[in-house]
Structures are given as structure tokens and as C-alpha cells.
Amino acid sequence: MSNQPEVKLIALDMDGTLLNEFHEVSDENRQAIKEAEKKGIHVVLSTGRSLKTARDYVLSLELSSYLVTVNGSEIWGPDGNLIERNPVGTEHIQWMYDLSKQHGGNFWAISSKDNWNNEMPDDLLSEEWLKFGFHIEEDEIREKVLKELNDKGLFEISNSSLVNIEVNAMGINKAKGLEKVCSLLGISMKNVMAVGDSLNDIAMITEAGLGIAMGNAQDAVKEAADDITGDNTESGVAQAIHKWVLES
């Protein structure tokens, strides 16, 4: 891509992208991130995870920039302060919880305070909710749930694996979170390289100046991307950083 804009920010998904099959950051990925930061490039984790399950990685990588969590539902500043929160209405969470009980399968939910797996608090109203997720192995049941969610027309729907569904507030996704970060840094989305593997990465991959799909990415993500790098088990993030940032 000869007209490729200069990369000033690297946005990285975590699971299936930055992290290998053991949920670890490889030495190659770690080194490439350090080298990019030495060049003055911002490295931002943009994840479906909550702050609670992403924070240790941020600390371990010694990242000094912003953090986009829960698919854009929360944006955190370099000093750990909350910049923006975009919740899902409690009545919608209740409806999805009932839907998951009706169809079976596993579920999870993320609130501003905690992560919930296959159980919910007695008082849903006591929490501010950010995301609801369905894990359904059976294709037919998952399609039914997906149809009911889409028919509502109230949600941002994606996934982070082929057998799950992730639901955020309408209009909330990783791209929206990164747009906010870019505006705070005074740069354009054209100057972003976004790397991911699942449907919850498509918005940032298509809206970034350079969108990179992992080798292990879902087909729809590869089709949306400008380039495809190695798998998450082969330090594909480091490969992309070397190709497009360090050696370009």
C-alpha cells in the first residue's frame, strides 16, 4: 500500500490476537511493542475484556497510553482514570438474561464493578451493565438467539469466537472507542493500525487507516482487512508491527 498513512497508534485486540493459546504475550510481541513505543507510537489495547481482566497485561507491558475495554463500553486514560462509560440499559440485560435461560447455553455479563459467569446478582438494578454475552455451541440455537437480538434493533452485536454472541449498547464498538482516543491524542483514525481476529474487531479494522487480520481470524475479518498477518500462536502481532511500522 504505497499511499499508506504514517502509523501513529497501534490498536491491538487481546484474545486470539495479542495473546497466544495460553493467554500469554510472546517475547516477540512484547519486544515489537517496546520498539514501536520507542519510536513514539501509542500502543492501545482494544479489547472485549473488562478492566479487571485486562489490567495485568497493561501493567506487564508497561503501556503508558489509553485503554479501550468491553468493546468500547469503557475508555481509560493513561493514568488509569475513567474517561467514558457507555452502559446497556438494565431492562435490556434482564431481557437477555431471560433469553439465555430460555435457550440454554452458557452466558456472561460485565458490569462496571464485576464479571459474571453463568450467574447473575439477585438485584440486577444494583449494577451498571456494560455487556452481555451468550456462549452457544449449537448453531441452530445460536442463530435463533441472534435473530431475536437483531429483531430488537437496540444493540451492537458482534462476537469474539464462532460460538458466542457479544452484545453492547447500540453504536458502541472498538472503533468508537478508538475515535475518542484519537481525538484526545490529536491524531486521525487514518494514522491507526488495528489488529484483530473476531467480529468485534471489524469496526476498528475497517475504520483504521490500516486494518490487519490475524492468520487465525474469522473469514469475515480477513475479508474486511487490508492485510493478513501470522496466527496468534506465531506472534502475528509482532510480524505486523515489523512489516508496517518498524520496517516501513
* pLDDT reported for residue 2: 52
Delimiting residues of CATH 3.30.1240.10 domain(s) in the chain? 90-169
Residue 98 among the catalytic residues: no
Give yes or no for residue 4 having a pLDDT over 80. Answer: no
The model's pLDDT over 173-197, given as tens digits with 9 standing for 90+, comes to: 999 999 999 999 999 999 999 999 9
- Please state which CATH number belongs to domain 9-85+173-246: 3.40.50.1000
Delimiting residues of CATH 3.40.50.1000 domain(s) in the chain? 9-85+173-246
* pLDDT reported for residue 231: 98
Determine the Cα–Cα distance for residues 116 and 107; give it in Å rounded to an integer: 8
Percent of the chain at pLDDT above 70?
Answer: 99
3-state secondary structure of 43: strand
* pLDDT reported for residue 5: 81
Class of domain 90-169: alpha beta
Give DSSP secondary structure letters for 180-227: HHHHHHT--GGGEEEEESSGGGHHHHHHSSEEEE-TTS-HHHHHH-SE
Cα separations in angstroms, 51 against 4, 69, 110, 165, 173: 32, 6, 10, 20, 16
Whether the model pTM is above 0.95: yes
| Nearest alpha carbon to residue 161 among 234, 110, 220 | 220
Around Cβ 182, how many Cβ atoms within 10 Å? 22
